Amino acid sequence: MMTIKQISVTVGEITKDYVNNDEQGVRGYKGLLDIRPPYQREFIYNEKEQQAVITTVLNGYPLNIMYWVKRNDDAECPYEVMDGQQRTLSLCEYVAGKFAYDFKNFFNQPADIQKKILDYKLTVYVCEGEESEKLEWFKTINIAGKSLNEQEIRNAVYAGPFVSDAKKHFSKTNCAAYRLGKDLVNGSPIRQEFFKKALDWMAAHETRYGKPQTIVGYMSEHQHDLNAGPLWTYFQSVLHWTMDTFNMKKFKKIMKGLDWAKFYDEYHEKSLDIKDMEQRIVDCLSDDEIQKPQGIIPYVLTGEERYLDLRAFPEKIKLAVWEQQGHKCTLCGKEFDIEFMEADHITPWCDGGRTVLENCQVLCRECNRRKGGK
């Protein structure tokens, strides 16, 4: 049965023997408190938010309640922070002299100010119970507080060796995934966006190869794997193929954020004419008909114009052609009001047609859909 009890801990106690390194992890409270368990986010407070924590303490204002979990009695580190990591780290980092407040770090403060900070009391609720009970409580308190994002919640629910190892690759500042993919993948590693992208890609990869999969399904299936090797290997394979196939120096601006795993799965075993594709990309970049440059590479690979968002006829051209045609559809000959008509290229873009008055015809919606489907 889960129990929850309230304790009072001073800043001096919680910052005692604070360490923050790869070997020992992030610990405080004389080594008894694991400040960053496997499911927690990396430190994300900015300078303004760190300063606000110190302001709160110095003014004697109440700091939000923190939540800890009590581990097994034989655990090397018997407590872990469930909620309050950012505030705890701000306090520990300041007392350790890692940043300044009002142009003074902790060691430059007068003795009475140092004592005021160290004696400040924090309200902590300690939870002890089964893993499932603690996870439910974790999700509940995050609804009321500053919520974790979707992937951070998944990391909590499926905490284990797989997530711990994956975070080494995908979730640290300047981690290997970021160094490799910063010009190709959107987002921030510390907000779990690189990890989420890798899981998105892997779930879609397995689905394409006949095994319907989701991020949740993949994490559940691999929760107790000793490492995340296959996920990391696939992520690297996708990005290395991308960089080998497309000229990053020339096309970096239009490459970031594309679904590279989809194209890797479909084309990495095919023989591609890289020089021809490069020239086609260059040609498309100089074509002012194309409104979405990020769609050029997908178009060159697939031949599907839907990626390009081609320039549409301005309303004044549509109106002028509608008047010229006597308000009638070119194909079916029926008369329609302007709002039921659509401007269409007589000569398609792929055959050199431009979005100009001379290349415009107005069709009814039904005829335009039928024409476009051919």
Q: Is the dihedral of CA 74, 32, 147, 22 positive or negative?
A: negative
Are the C-beta atoms of residues 45 and 89 closer than 8 Å to each other? Answer: yes
Encode pLDDT of 317-335 as tens digits.
999 999 999 999 999 999 9
Q: What is the mean pLDDT of residues 216-226?
A: 92
DSSP code of 335? B
**Contact call for residues 362 and 343 (beta carbons, < 8 A):** yes
pLDDT given for residue 320 in this prediction:
94
Q: Tens digit of pLDDT for each residue in 52-75? A: 999 999 998 888 888 888 887 677
pLDDT the model gives residue 134: 65
Is the pLDDT at 23 greater than 80? The verdict is: no
pLDDT at 131: 65
In eight-state DSSP terms, residue 62 is P
Fold of 315-372: DNA Binding (I), subunit A (1.10.30)
Question: Which is more confident, 179 or 43?
Answer: 179
Alpha-carbon span 306 to 255, nearest angstrom: 17
CA distances (Å), origin 250, targets 65, 278, 281: 52, 9, 10
pTM (2 d.p.): 0.61
User: Would you kindly state where each structural domain of the chain is located, as residue ranges?
Assistant: 1-148, 149-239, 240-304, 315-372
Q: Give the pLDDT confidence of 116-173 residue by residue, as tens digits.
A: 999 999 999 888 877 667 667 766 666 544 556 778 878 877 878 899 899 999 998 8
- 162 phi and psi angles, rounded to 5 deg: -65, -50
